[in-house]
Amino acid sequence: MLPAAPDEWTIQEAAHLLRRAGFGGSPKDIESFHALGRYKAVESLLAPTEPVDAFNLPAWATHDQALADMKERQEQFQEIRRATRDLSPEEAEKVRKEYRQKQQRTERQHGIEAQGWWFRRMLKTEAPLREKMVLFWHDHFATSLQKVKQPVLMVMQNELFRRNATGSFKELTHSILKDPAMMLYLDTQTSKKGQPNENFAREVMELFTLGEGNYTEPDIKEAARAFTGYSLNRLNGTVVHNKRQWDEGEKKIFGKSGKFDGDDVIDLLFAQEAAARYVPKKLWEYFAAEDPPEEGVDALAKSFKAADFKVEPLLREIFRSKAFYSDKIVRNQIKSPIQFLVQMFKELELESPPQGYTVNAQLQLGQVLFMPPNVAGWDWGKAWINTNTLLTRYNVAGFITKGAQESSQLADNGDAMMDQEMDKKQMRVANLLDRAQRTWAGPDYEKIAPRPLREDPEKLVDSLVQRFFQAPLGGKERGAFIEYAVSKKGAIFTNKEVGELCHLMLSTPHYQLD
């Protein structure tokens, strides 16, 4: 067990826990969270009162509708087959192409809706740790809409993560083997007896359970044989183990021999020492800091194994530990793009993001929900930041804090260069952006920076610093903000000027840290 911190805590520590185990909050949110005391606050995160189904799924993603859609698709497919039977190959191809395009349009639309649905859920949920764990599992068992292509399957997987958010990692891994989206993503559904596809076997060892160096190439080859025979029924989205396509022969994996199937292999994986270390280390890195010391990982691995791979006790240990609140960890993690966006909305007390804007912002910042770059998920930490993404963060913050006044700027400078090479996809994004920009009003600055506060630039700055950083800043930054605020305090300190001050605060290296 990691040494625990006392129940009593500071408001800074409360803000830290709410940022890391959730997406931060407004000054009021943090105050009431702090009032619970450390232990109760941790329990409130681990056992939220909000039910798992508190948010309605998009209509097309509900079980019955999804089933009906799949059936309809199948029927349409057959109908097209009938209809094209007597056509020339060219005409038939044209009909098929039209159908495919229609299908793709629908799916693209659903994909955007799914992304918006999950993002809003992160923003509004009363169970922030659950959503943060869903994001963790999404990164861990990374699956991308780009290959899976069916948003409904991605939402099903997302719900699987939510139901198992803090449950057993072992059970979740068993489920992911038979998860339709994962099967399509790692080609399990085309892997057959005599001709195994190694994709899932390799990634389940390297990326999901053990990590590089804890298995051999023959282990992968043999496991791939065991993972054959799982097939996805595209009519109802269920997965069955088809014994005829399964390689029922003897396999030798991790020195053990048997007529293993996929579930057997997963049990074998969890019998390996490395399985107890792999996810605890990743969880510490996700919630606390990179490169944890060996002893820390040892302690967590021991607890994880004792809890039979249940995640909840492990999280409790992390969030109660003294180490989690140490100076080296607090305000020293680089925000992921999703964290940056959701937290900024919460700090600005915004109820919902501007239409269509957040998906584009995710794309520019390098983290699009349901679209991790590859099966290893996203690279975290410093990898989020380079000259390009940092400037983009600043500009995203500018738009959110200042609203529609930005639009002409963004539109102007691109035109001359972009018309030549802008493809249709960019065009669509640009149009979406344009619409967002015309209608986005920005935050309610009367609430965030009440008029009386604006009389005293120093107080105004300190209040905003508390809102955005939840900790005192270095003298240089604070001084610059005050100087700026003083220069703005002419005859009248308008909302526009508060917005500019906020933008300047968010356009700093410090704001990228949590």
Partner 1 sequence: MKTRRDFLRSTILGASATWTVPMFVERTFADLHMGARDLATQPVTGKDGTILVVLQLAGGNDGLNTLVPYADDAYHSARPSLGKKEKEIIKLSDHVGLNGAMPFMGSLFKEGNLGVVQGVGYPNPNRSHFVSTSIWETADIQNRSSTGWIGRYFDNACDGADPTVGISLNKTQPESFGAAKNPGVCLSSPELYRWIHGGGEKAQAEEFFASLNSPEDDDNPVDGASIDMPAGGKVGGIEGESNLAFLERVAMDARVSSAKILELASKYKSKVNYEGTPISRSLNMVSRLIAGGMPTRVYYVSHGGFDTHNQQVNSHDRLLGQLDRALKSFFADLKEQGNDKRVVLMTFSEFGRRVSENASAGTDHGRASCMFLAGDAVKGGLFGAYPSLTELDQGDLKHNVDFRGVYASVLEGWLKTSSKPILRGDFAKLGMIG
* Of residues 269-308, those binding partner 1 (CB under 8 A): 289-291
| Rounded CA separation 431/15 (Å) | 38
Q: Which is nearer to partner 1, 258 or 509 (CB)?
A: 509
Identify residues 174-203 at the interface with partner 1 (CB under 8 A).
Answer: 187, 190-192, 194-199, 202
Q: Is 395 in the site for partner 1 (CB under 8 A)?
A: yes
The token duo for 182 is 């994962």
Contacts of 367 (CB under 8 A, 6+ apart): 336, 337, 338, 378, 384
| Rounded CA separation 341/345 (Å) | 6
Q: Is 513 in the site for partner 1 (CB under 8 A)?
A: yes
Least separation in angstroms between residue 296's CB and partner 1 is: 15
Closest by alpha carbon to 392, among 362, 417, 422? 362
Q: Which is nearer to partner 1, 131 or 179 (CB)?
A: 179
Q: Are 177 and 266 in contact (CB under 8 A)?
A: yes
Contacts of 264 (CB under 8 A, 6+ apart): 226, 258
Q: Is 212 in the site for partner 1 (CB under 8 A)?
A: yes
Residue carrying the six token digits 């009389």: 455
Residue carrying the six token digits 């025979």: 229
Identify residues 18-57 at the interface with partner 1 (CB under 8 A).
Answer: none
Q: Is 328 in the site for partner 1 (CB under 8 A)?
A: yes
Least separation in angstroms between residue 496's CB and partner 1 is: 7
| Rounded CA separation 337/169 (Å) | 26
Identify residues 446-485 at the interface with partner 1 (CB under 8 A).
Answer: 474, 476-477, 480, 483-484
Q: Is 500 in the site for partner 1 (CB under 8 A)?
A: yes
Contacts of 352 (CB under 8 A, 6+ apart): 120, 123
Give the rounded distance of the alpha carbon of 172 from its chain centre: 17
Q: Is 398 in the site for partner 1 (CB under 8 A)?
A: yes
Q: Which is nearer to partner 1, 66 or 232 (CB)?
A: 232
Contacts of 448 (CB under 8 A, 6+ apart): 348, 349, 464, 467, 498, 502
Contact stretch for partner 1 (CB under 8 A) within 5-13, 27-35, 275-283, 369-377 = 369-377
Q: Pick the binder of partner 1 from 143, 150, 209, 333 (CB under 8 A).
A: 333
Q: Is 244 in the site for partner 1 (CB under 8 A)?
A: no
Least separation in angstroms between residue 26's CB and partner 1 is: 24
| Rounded CA separation 154/158 (Å) | 6
Q: Is 402 in the site for partner 1 (CB under 8 A)?
A: yes
User: What's the distance, Cα to Cα, between the start and end of the chain in Å?
Assistant: 25
Least separation in angstroms between residue 238's CB and partner 1 is: 21
Least separation in angstroms between residue 406's CB and partner 1 is: 5
Identify residues 249-268 at the interface with partner 1 (CB under 8 A).
Answer: none
Give the rounded distance of the alpha carbon of 40 from its chain centre: 26
Identify residues 121-180 at the interface with partner 1 (CB under 8 A).
Answer: none
Size of the site for partner 1 (CB under 8 A): 73
Least separation in angstroms between residue 315's CB and partner 1 is: 23
Q: Which is nearer to partner 1, 39 or 484 (CB)?
A: 484
Element (H, E) at 82: helix 63-84
Least separation in angstroms between residue 242's CB and partner 1 is: 14
Query: Is the CA virtual torsion 407, 408, 410, 415 positive or negative?
Result: positive
Contact stretch for partner 1 (CB under 8 A) within 52-60, 87-95, 304-312, 376-384 = 376-384
Closest by alpha carbon to 232, among 165, 152, 164, 162? 152
The token duo for 357 is 């804007």
Q: Is 421 in the site for partner 1 (CB under 8 A)?
A: yes
Least separation in angstroms between residue 449's CB and partner 1 is: 16
Least separation in angstroms between residue 37's CB and partner 1 is: 30
Q: Pick the binder of partner 1 from 334, 350, 429, 453 (CB under 8 A).
A: 334
Residues 504, 506, 512, 513, Cα dihedral to 10°:
100
Least separation in angstroms between residue 376's CB and partner 1 is: 5
